[in-house]
Each structure stands twice: as structure tokens, then as C-alpha cells.
Chains A and B, each alone.
Chain A
Amino acid sequence: MSKGVLVDITKCIGCGSCTVACKMWNKLEYDNKVPSIGEDATLNDKNWTVVVQSSLNNAKGESVWRFAKQQCMHCVDPACASACFSRALQKNADGAVVYYPDLCVGCRYCMIACPFDVPKYEWSKAAPQITKCQMCSSRIAKGEAPACVAVCPTGVMKFADRQELINEAHLMLKRDDRYMKTVYGEHEVGGTCWLYVSDVPFDQLGFKSKLGSVPLPSYTHSFLKNVPVIALGWGVLLTGMSFYARRRNEIAKAKQAKRNGTDGNQQGEDDDFDEED
């Protein structure tokens, strides 16, 4: 069963405990130049999760702060994994999308493919690797919640079966009309394992709002599934054309030879057929 995490934006106070827990569990350095909490918080090779602060107006027109935790969304049908040509990114049955550094070639196609711009690169290293949240897959395997979920002091996140979480989220939206009427991640690019509910519009929090519900790998799949047929058909067609053209040239040569009497050889490979127009 695919697991997931439900994030309730209304409960987050921006303390950043989750970002610290992530660094400790995954042994990541602190980046002095790029903060992991605040308005300028940015994901990078050292920040696998960040808490981005936004100042905005709520429905009543009051100015408020909101904090959005960002990390890999662990898509149900991940573009990054389908883009990786050496299977260095793989989707686990439990939902986590995991990176295997030994298999990675470093082509960065996964970065192009991810609609949430999650995979980051160790640009400063001599043999750089892709980096991203692994949903603490080794903890999940033991039945534990990801480190960030376990450490949150205000209970912003809940770790459970994805489908259960979706049901629960819809109940929350029904019971409390402060919430926006969507569960972010339920349908985005075919669904993600991280789900969000919020009392302010998602695009104001920096979430991408126009992703649609088509899983991105379906675009490439509809291309790739035709490839074997095209290859085979094209090969057969070319062989046919090659024989046909050669035969036609030979017949033409023979005719030419007849026309010129006996020594047709000299006119040999003339170009009776190369004028297309």
C-alpha cells in the first residue's frame, strides 16, 4: 500500500524543526549561503526540505504569515523515475521515490523532467550526484514515519496510507470552511504521496497551480510505445525501396543498352531516373 503524508498548512508555525531533523537523519551540511527556513528558503543539494514563509492576506483581508514545507512530492507516477535512463530513481511500493547513487550517470534529465523542480545537483563537487528527499525510506521500511513528520512539535503532518489521508482531508474540508476546497496533490500530475490542505490559495504559497492531472510519463509513453513498430516497419520499407530502386535502375540500364546497340556499358550508370520534376 502506498503511504503518504498529509500536511495541514494552517498548523505550521515555521519553527523549522523538520528541516533540522532532515539534516540530522540524512547527515546533510548546513548551507551558510542558502537558508532552509524563511522567505528566501530554497531547496538545494544540502536542503532536502525547506519551510518557505509567505506574507499574504487571508479571506478577511488581514495580513498573515503562512509557512509551506517543501520537499519531493513522491509522485504516484513520478516523471523523474520515468526519465532516468539508468534506473537510478525508482518508485517503491510503499510510495517513496528513492535515488540509487551508484546507478546515476549524472545526465540531469530527472531535473528537466520533474514538474516540481525537486531534484538538485551537487554542483560544487568533482563527481556530483542528484540529491532529493527520499521520504526516509529506510525508516518507512521499519514502519516509522519520516524524520520530519516524527519531530514536528505542532502536528502539522500525518503519515498514513495515502488513500486514507485523502478521505480524511476531504472530511476536514467539509467540516471546516476555513479550508480551500482542494487537496493539493490528490490529482496533480496524476497524484502525489504528499498531500496538502490550506486556508489560503495554494498558488500564493508558491505551489504550482497549473500542472493538470495527466501523469507526465504518459506523454513519453505514447511516443515510446510506437518506436518498435516504426523501427520495424521503416526497416522493411527501406529494404523494399532499396531492392525496388536497384531493380528499376538495372532495367533502365538494360533498356539504355539496347537502345545504344551493343556497347551499353559505357553509358552505364546514367541518370535516367534522377530528375524528379
Chain B
Amino acid sequence: MVQTAINKGRMMTSMKRIELFGWKFTITPARKILTFIAAFSIAAMVIRLITGFSLLTNLNDDWPWGLWIAFDVLTGVALAGGGYSTALVVHILHRDKYHPVARGALLTSLLGYILVMAGLFLDIGQWFNFWRPFVSWGHASVLFEVFWCISIYTTIQVLEFGEIVTEKIGIKLHRFFKKILPVLMIIGVVFPTLHQSSLGALFLIAVHKVYPLWWTEYLPVFFLMSSFFIGPAMVCVESALAGKFFGHKVSLNVLSGLARISGRMMVLYLGLKIFDLFERGVVGLAFLGNLEGNMFLLEIIVGVAIPIGIVFSRFGKTRNGLLVYGVLTSGGVILNRMNTVFTSMVSYSSGAYFPSIWEFIVSIGLISIGCLLYSFIVENFNIFDHHPSQRSDKHDNQLSV
């Protein structure tokens, strides 16, 4: 499937191109399919907002939080973590060689957050009341912090993106945006740090419901660390795709450097996880051979241990290796979020939930919308050809994939 999609991507240059008022959008078969899915899912979203939950979802009193929270929100925010970890490395630690990936990461992150907000909006019952927490302060709630942080951070990202937009439209404002950028960057790292950890802290209060392999007082720390190291992993995957679809090649040196930064964080993460399991005396639970134990092992071995092995081996210096590393690490974090919400609660609530086809369609629809927006923006703004350091890369001769 992926391969055919990639081949279709290659044919892009021969495809029809729409140009309207100076905006470009190329039509490819893959994008036609995405548009179709997006339109279909938007119809489902509208129906959901008008009719409530019972028609389209399988949510019930035993499972108040389902796929939309687990995937669209928890996982979406983690995946969008690439924005702040690259911002930290590039704009705060000023490691300029990573500049070529900064704008791409920012874009993915911004789109990620916008889609997260859309997912949240679909998941709240009184959606016309969404603004309440801005005026009625339930500040003892972790969700309150998540809500404020995500709102502020999305705004910050839009402003950060202003620097890119004003290269093309509203050029007069460009200098202004360039000037405020350093301040934005710092705020833009502080807020994600807070809410990435708060997303884990959301489950602190469900101490009797979350299976002990996942419930720990370190939940916020684990969520934060994993949101940091998923960033470079996503950049690796994204670069592989962008290389195929948009001919944008990020140098191998840059990618493997990023991957090693994230690899060190993963080692820390793994160490703390194991320490925590021993300290709470629940290591044995991982080896009971039950659903929870197996899912936990899968998450840790395939999603953390193996990627660490790859990053610090020779395989981790090839494009193939980095792609495998990226896919496994991102997959591991996705699995972790799913496990925290689903697997960990199966035995508590007798497992009476499986997402309906419509819940899947809406989730896939949101992703499709994201891909379409990404393609549109990449074609119209200066995302990839932004190399202030203009360095030629000598290591980049092991091209594969």
C-alpha cells in the first residue's frame, strides 16, 4: 500500500496542477483519495455534532473516553511533540545544522495541534460550551492546565508560523515576526513541556482504574520524556516521506544526529521505567502472559529497546535504519498512549468497547485533512528550501530506501 502510494507520489510531476490567485495545488491520485476521505469524514463529523454520540460512536458509561481521546488527542499531541523538541535543539541550543528540519517540524506540529483541537471539539458533548473553562476556572483540574496550555501553545505556533507566512503575504509584517520569534520560541518550549506532562498527569486521579504497569506517580515524567524523543523519530519518518513526495532530502548526518539526541533520552526513559517497576514491586506483572503484560512488553521491547539498539549501531547511520528507527519509536509511543487509555482499563471496565467504524472514519479523516493541508502549505510556502547554513554534506552518500 505504502509502496503504491509512494509510486503515485513519484508521478506527481506529471500531474495536473491547479493555480488560482497565485496559489498552487497539484492533484495526484493519492490526494484525490485523501480528499474523498476527508469529505466523507467531515459529513460524519457534522452528523456527530448535530445528533450526539449514540448514532455514530460506541462510547458508553463504562468507556467514557474512546478512540478520539486516545488517538486524536493523546497520540496527536505526542506526535506533534516534534515541534518543540526541534525548536529546543535548533532555536534555543542553536545547533544550526538541524535548521533544515526545523520548519518541517514546526509545520507538522502546528497542523497536529489544530487537528487535536478539532478532535477534542468533536469529543466534547456540550461543544457550544467549549469556551467555559476560559471563564469558569476549575484550576484544581489537570485538564484545566491541558486546556489552557494547548490553547496558548497553538496560538504561539500560529504566530511562529507567521514568520514563514509573511515571507509571502503581508510582507510588511515580516520584520515584526522575525523580531518576536526568539521570545515565542522560549514560550513555545515551556508550554508543551507543561502540557505534555499534564496529559500523563490526567490519569493520576484514576489510580484504581489504570493497570499498575502504567499507573505510576511518574506518569507525567514518562509522558514528557516520550513526547520529547518521539519528535526526532517523527522527523525521520517525515523526511523519508517528504524525500519521496517533495524531493526534499535532509542530510543523513542531520537525521542521525537528531536520532542520537533522542536515543539518549530513550535510554534515560527505559532506565527510569525499569527502576520504577522495581520500586513499586510490579515487575512480575509484565511476565504474567496476560493481555496487559504482553502489551507492555511489546511497547517496551519493540518501541523502546530495539530503536535504542538501532540508533547506536551502524544501521542507525543509514537511511533505512533511521526509517525503521523512526517507525518503531513513533509506533511505540502511539502504543503507549493507547495502552494507557485502552489496555490498562480493559480489566477494570470489563472491556465493553470497541471503536465503531464511524469513529475510525472520523480519525482517519482528520489525518487526511492534515496531509492535504501539509501538501498545500509545502507547495506554497518556503518550508524545505530554507537553509541558512547552506552546508554541503559529505556523509550523505549512503542513499537507500
Contacts and interface: CB of A to CB of B under 8 A. Distances in A.
Interface of A: 43-44, 79, 81-88, 102-109, 111-113, 115, 117, 120-121, 123-129, 208, 210-211, 216-217, 219-224, 227, 230-231, 234-235, 238-239, 241-242, 245-246, 248-249, 268-271, 273-277
Contacts of A223: 142, 198, 201, 204, 220
B132 interface: yes
Contacts of B399: none
A269 B54 CA distance: 58
Among A112, A123, A125, A230, find the residue whose CB has the most chain B CB atoms closer than 10 A. Answer: A112
Contacts of A227: 145, 194, 198
A128 B129 contact: no
B127 A269 contact: no
B207 A104 contact: no
A105 B64 contact: no
A105 B54 contact: no
Contact of B125 (A127, A230, A268): A127
Across chains A and B, which 4 residue pairs bring their CB atoms closest together, nearest first? Answer: A106-B125, A85-B144, A108-B64, A245-B94
Contacts of B204: 219-220, 223
B136 interface: yes
Given A120-B61, A268-B389, A274-B96, A79 B133 contact: no
A217 B129 contact: no
Contact of A44 (B54, B61, B127, B144): B61
A117 B350 CA distance: 13
B208 interface: yes
B102 to A, nearest CB: 13
A235 B133 CA distance: 25
A224 B140 contact: yes
B207 A83 contact: no
Interface stretch (B10-18, B34-42, B104-112, B182-190): B182-190
Contacts of B137: 87
30 contacts: A82-B141, A83-B141, A84-B143, A88-B136, A103-B129, A104-B129, A105-B124, A105-B129, A105-B130, A106-B126, A109-B141, A112-B202, A126-B50, A217-B205, A219-B205, A220-B140, A222-B217, A223-B142, A223-B204, A224-B201, A231-B190, A234-B193, A238-B190, A245-B95, A269-B96, A269-B388, A271-B95, A271-B97, A274-B96, A276-B257
B61 A82 contact: no
Contacts of A124: 52, 54
B5 interface: no
A129 B126 CA distance: 8
B31 interface: no
Nearest to B49: A126
Nearest to B193: A234
A111 B65 CA distance: 9
B381 interface: no
Contacts of A222: 217
B113 to A, nearest CB: 18
A108 B136 contact: no
Contact of A85 (B54, B65, B147): B147
Contacts of A221: 140
Contacts of A275: 257
Nearest to B215: A219
Among B60, B64, B123, B202, find the residue whose CB has the most chain A CB atoms closer than 10 A. Answer: B64
Contacts of B8: none
B143 A273 contact: no
Contact of B206 (A112, A121, A230, A269): A112
B143 A269 contact: no
Nearest to B349: A117
A274 B391 CA distance: 13
Given A105-B129, A217-B205, 16 more contacts: A82-B140, A104-B126, A105-B132, A109-B141, A109-B202, A123-B52, A124-B54, A128-B53, A129-B126, A219-B217, A223-B198, A230-B194, A231-B190, A234-B189, A238-B92, A276-B257
A274 B97 contact: yes
A239 B182 CA distance: 9
Nearest to A239: B186
B91 interface: yes
A220 B141 contact: yes
A220 B208 contact: no
Among B93, B125, B205, B209, find the residue whose CB has the most chain A CB atoms closer than 10 A. Answer: B205
